[in-house]
Structure 1
Amino acid sequence: MNEETTDATEEHPLEEQLRLAREEIVALTAARDFERDQALRAIAEAQNTRARLEREKSDAIAYAAAAFARDMLVVADNLERALAALPAPGDEALKSVVAGLEAVQREMLQVFERHGITRVETVGLPLDPMSHQAMVEVESDSEPGTVVAELQAGYRMKDRLLRPALVSVARKREEAA
Structure 2
Amino acid sequence: MTQKKNEADDNAAAREMDGVPEHLREGGDEPEANADAERISMLEDQLAAAKQDVLYAQADTQNVRRRMEKEAADARAYAATNFARDILSVSDNLTRALDAIPAELREDEKMKPLVTGLEATGRELDSVFAKNGIARIAAMGMPLDPNLHQAMVEIPSADAEAGTIVAEMQAGYMIKDRLLRPALVGVAKSAD
Report the TM-score, using the length of structure 2 for normalisation.
0.77
Percentage of identical aligned residues: 51
Which of 94, 108, 130 matches 2:125? 108
Q: Give the letter for the 1:119 counterpart.
A: R
In the alignment, which residue of structure 2 is the partner of 1:164? 182
Superposition deviation, residue 146 in structure 1: 1.6
Structure 1: which 5+ residue stretches go unaligned? 1-11
Superposition deviation, residue 62 in structure 1: 1.6
Cα-to-partner distance string for 1:11-39 (whole Å, 9 max, x where unaligned): x941x344434433333233222211211
Summarize the Cα distance change of 1:94–1:36 in structure 2 as closer, same or farther, 3 Å threshold: same
Summarize the Cα distance change of 1:143–1:18 in structure 2 as closer, same or farther, 3 Å threshold: farther
Greater relative contact order (CA < 8 Å, ≥ 6 in sequence): 1
Summarize the Cα distance change of 1:101–1:29 in structure 2 as closer, same or farther, 3 Å threshold: same
In the alignment, which residue of structure 2 is the partner of 1:36? 51
C-alpha separation in 2, matches of 1:130 and 1:38: 44
Q: Larger Rg: 1 or 2?
A: 2
In the alignment, which residue of structure 2 is the partner of 1:70? 85
Q: How does 1:91-102 map to 2 (within 5 A)?
A: 91-102=108-119
Which of 61, 66, 73 matches 1:46? 61
Superposition deviation, residue 73 in structure 1: 0.3
Moved over 6 A (4+): none
Q: What RMSD in Å do the two structures reach over aligned CA positions?
A: 1.9
C-alpha separation in 2, matches of 1:35 and 1:172: 70
How many residue pairs match? The answer is 163
C-alpha separation in 2, matches of 1:25 and 1:139: 84
C-alpha separation in 2, matches of 1:27 and 1:143: 75
Report the TM-score, using the length of structure 1 for normalisation.
0.83
SS at match of 2:147: coil
Q: Does 1:154 align with 2:154?
A: no
Superposition deviation, residue 144 in structure 1: 2.0
Q: Give the letter for the 1:93 counterpart.
A: K
Superposition deviation, residue 118 in structure 1: 0.7
